[in-house]
């Protein structure tokens, strides 16, 4: 049976892009309102890093658990059911975040939001990948990520204009409800509808661990995305702290740095789709952007980074260089059969997001606290380790550009 294939500008692609826009708005809002919101709950300059690390770690753990839950649901119940359920959960959680009064309440609210946010991207990428012809699916998923990532820019300016972090969370909740209405008109994946008639296991998370080849592909698919959250979660998120250590007095607003970085990531995610098309390869496009990430990482920690203007510029270019999120998630979806694809595409990016607490542990507790290296040297060593792991994983990963997706995992 010939499956109907969508164009790059189909309703499914546009709605998936808008869904990821809301997802990123909610996901990055904490990093943008981090300092004023924590200060409003009694945090001080001395406790700021510890409290913010605790809250974002809880959010990332929620993403990790949610990725598994929604991924399994996506293969068992369908891609659209995940999109509806996850949106409902994170909309409610974000709205309630606007009413928290303690750090612990804040952490729990972000944990619940993290669980909800985990379902959006993977289910959207899976749906778009299955609806589009293989020659164009990289462009479709890049468009989803490129448009979606501008949600961080919207989050920044929402706070800039309102100066009310509680209102920003409530707006995020309302955006999710609007998105629910848009989702009603999107059709389910034809591949999934065919799958429902076959007697195969669907959404069995443990299948990734019962076969050596599948396990290898799954772990490699996670590791190739590690630099994205090291750059955003550590370097850009703490850009004001790095600025103090690198060149002293500064007026860096880490929220603005994140906004610049995500605007550039969005552009990078669109550009890498065209580069992948030009090379007819996912891996060659990844290698190019890895090289840019290394170059900009060196600039970040060098004497070139000696002013607020330089810091903002380097954070922007770092963002562009890590604009490979769409290709990385697409590769995760392309690695596995239809009966495990949503589980893979949803858990893989959230495993990467969930790796941030481990990266923070290495950066803050192992190198900074234990070795007393300070924030700069800790950042350099952590970054080197992350990039080495990623480059090795990319080398051993499968090229998936021409892969036909209409098959199942036995």
What are the pLDDT digits (tens) for 171-223?
Answer: 999 998 888 777 666 655 555 556 556 666 766 888 889 899 999 999 999 99
Taking 3-state DSSP, the helix, strand and coil percentages for the chain, each rounded to the nearest 5, stand at 75, 0, 25
CA distances to 53, 107, 281, 362, 369 from 365, in Å: 11, 20, 39, 6, 5
Q: What is the mean pLDDT of residues 58-84?
A: 81
What are the pLDDT digits (tens) for 132-143?
Answer: 776 777 777 788
* CB-based contact 152:28 (threshold 8 Å): yes
Band of pLDDT at residue 393, cut at 50, 70 and 90? very high
* Cα–Cα nearest to 218, from 126, 119, 334: 334
One-character DSSP codes across 1-51: -PPP---TT-HHHHHHHHHHHHHHHHHHHHHHHHHHHHHHTT--TTTHHHH
Amino acid 140: pLDDT: 79
Q: What is the mean pLDDT of residues 262-281?
A: 90
**CATH code for the structural domain at 11-186+205-396:** 1.20.1250.20
* CB-based contact 262:319 (threshold 8 Å): yes
What are the pLDDT digits (tens) for 228-258?
Answer: 989 998 999 899 989 999 999 999 998 899 8
* CB-based contact 122:329 (threshold 8 Å): yes
Amino acid 368: pLDDT: 66
What are the pLDDT digits (tens) for 78-101?
Answer: 767 777 788 889 889 999 999 999
What are the pLDDT digits (tens) for 14-28?
Answer: 877 888 888 889 888
Domain limits of the chain?
Answer: 11-186+205-396
Amino acid 2: pLDDT: 41
Amino acid 3: pLDDT: 44
Global pTM value: 0.80
For residue 6 the two structure tokens come to 């969508």
Distance CA 166, CA 169 (A): 5
For residue 293 the two structure tokens come to 């990430």
């Amino acid at each position: 049976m010939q499956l109907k294939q969508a164009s790059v500008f189909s309703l499914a692609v546009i709605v998936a892009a808008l869904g990821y826009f809301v997802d990123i708005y909610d996901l990055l809002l904490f990093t943008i309102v981090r300092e004023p919101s924590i200060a409003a709950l009694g945090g001080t300059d001395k406790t700021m890093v510890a409290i913010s690390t605790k809250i974002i770690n809880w959010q990332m753990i929620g993403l990790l658990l949610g990725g598994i839950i929604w991924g399994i649901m996506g293969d068992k119940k369908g891609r659209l059911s995940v999109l509806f359920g996850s949106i409902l959960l994170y909309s409610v959680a974000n709205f309630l975040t606007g009413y928290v009064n303690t750090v612990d309440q804040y952490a729990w609210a972000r944990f619940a939001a993290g669980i909800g946010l985990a379902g959006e991207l993977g289910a959207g990428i899976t749906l778009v990948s299955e609806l589009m012809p293989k020659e164009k699916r990289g462009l479709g998923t890049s468009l989803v990520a490129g448009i979606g990532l501008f949600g961080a820019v919207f989050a920044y300016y929402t706070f800039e204009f309102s100066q009310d972090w509680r209102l920003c969370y409530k707006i995020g909740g309302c955006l999710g409800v609007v998105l629910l209405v848009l989702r009603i008109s999107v059709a389910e994946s034809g591949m999934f509808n065919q799958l429902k008639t076959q007697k195969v296991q669907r959404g069995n998370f443990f299948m990734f661990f019962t076969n050596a080849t599948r396990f290898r592909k799954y772990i490699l698919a996670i590791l190739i995305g590690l630099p994205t959250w090291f750059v955003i979660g550590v370097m850009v998120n703490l850009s004001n702290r790095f600025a103090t250590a690198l060149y002293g007095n500064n007026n860096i607003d880490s929220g603005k740095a994140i906004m610049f970085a995500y605007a550039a990531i969005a552009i990078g995610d669109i550009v890498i789709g065209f580069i992948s098309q030009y090379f007819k390869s996912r891996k060659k496009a990844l290698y190019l952007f890895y090289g840019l990430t290394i170059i900009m990482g060196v600039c970040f920690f060098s004497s070139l980074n000696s002013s607020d203007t330089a810091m903002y510029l380097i954070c922007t270019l770092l963002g562009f260089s890590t604009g490979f999120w769409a290709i990385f998630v697409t590769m995760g979806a392309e690695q596995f059969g239809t009966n495990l694809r949503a589980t893979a595409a949803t858990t893989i990016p959230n495993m990467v997001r969930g790796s941030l607490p481990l990266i923070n542990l290495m950066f803050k507790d192992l190198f900074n606290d234990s070795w007393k290296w300070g924030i700069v040297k800790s950042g350099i060593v952590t970054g080197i380790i992350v990039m080495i792991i990623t480059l090795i994983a990319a080398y051993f990963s499968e090229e998936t550009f021409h892969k036909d997706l209409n098959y199942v995992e036995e």
